[in-house]
Structure 1
Amino acid sequence: MHELSIATAIVEQAEEIARTDGADGVSSVTVRVGELAGVVPDALHFAFEVAREGTALSGASLVVEQVPALAWCGGCAEEFAVGMPPFFWCPACDRPSRELRSGRELEITGVEPVPAPT
């Protein structure tokens, strides 16, 4: 399950971001995961729960924003969903696409620190 190595990297990077920002802990991490990134969101959630134990993210939640795979057809200037399994053939003009616009993302987009005690 490669999601465990991905989750471990997310935890490590989120800890570094929190330290840099002077936070003691993290309450949530938001990641964008493309449809073609080869990551199963449910497996990533499970792996994150394992990877966060004993870290500054021990109580953190993982928010996964799924990004659809979209291609661009230069021939007719149409953007279209490629689906799963991916099919890079333009449904509007019946020609192959050479440009994938989204769907391979795997990135941290937000790290929410634990609120400071008042």
Structure 2
Amino acid sequence: MAVHELSITESLIDAVLDRTGDRQVTLVNLRIGPLSGVLPDALRFCFEVASAGTPLAGAILTIDEPPGRARCRACGGVFGLDDLILLCPCGSADVEVVSGRELMVTSVEVA
């Protein structure tokens, strides 16, 4: 089990419970970008384990995985990022990450 993802999952569950209280949660929607440092599959596993015995037990977890994107300050081009190697195809390292670092709860459904 990934310790990093377990800690993040526990914080996620605490945040959801702060908003929903004792109501049974049936669905949790997340957005996790590829540059966030979080492995979605590990988080899925941790969610099942960490939610046991809580109002989130048995909830469906869906994860939207948007692509990483960056904009080059040198040439103005926008390009995809699969990892944290921030290098434009033009060769410039003067880039701005515009998406892919997301790690957020986008919605929750309760019974």
Relative to the length of structure 1, the TM-score reads 0.83
Aligned to 1:32, what secondary structure does the other structure show?
strand
Counting matched residue pairs gives 109
Stretch moving more, 96-105 or 37-46: 96-105
Which of 3, 6, 12 pairs up with 1:4? 6
Identity of aligned residues (%): 40
In structure 2, C-alpha distance between the alignment counterparts of 1:17 and 1:38, rounded to whole Å:
25
1:59 is aligned to 58
Separation in 2 of the partners of 1:113 and 1:97? 44
| Aligned mates of 2:57, 2:87 — CA distance in 1 | 44
1:112 alignment partner in structure 2: 109
Q: Deviations over 1:44-102 (max 9, x none)?
A: 00000011111111121111111222111122222111223x332221x3322331111
Q: CA RMSD in A?
A: 1.5
Distance 1:26 1:83 in 2: 32
Q: Please give the TM-score of this superposition, normalised by the length of structure 2.
A: 0.87
Unpaired segments of 5 or more residues in structure 2?
none
- Residue 14 of structure 1 deviates from its aligned partner by 1.1
Gaps of 5+ in 1: none
Larger radius of gyration: 1
Q: Runs of 4 or more off by more than 6 Å in structure 1? A: none
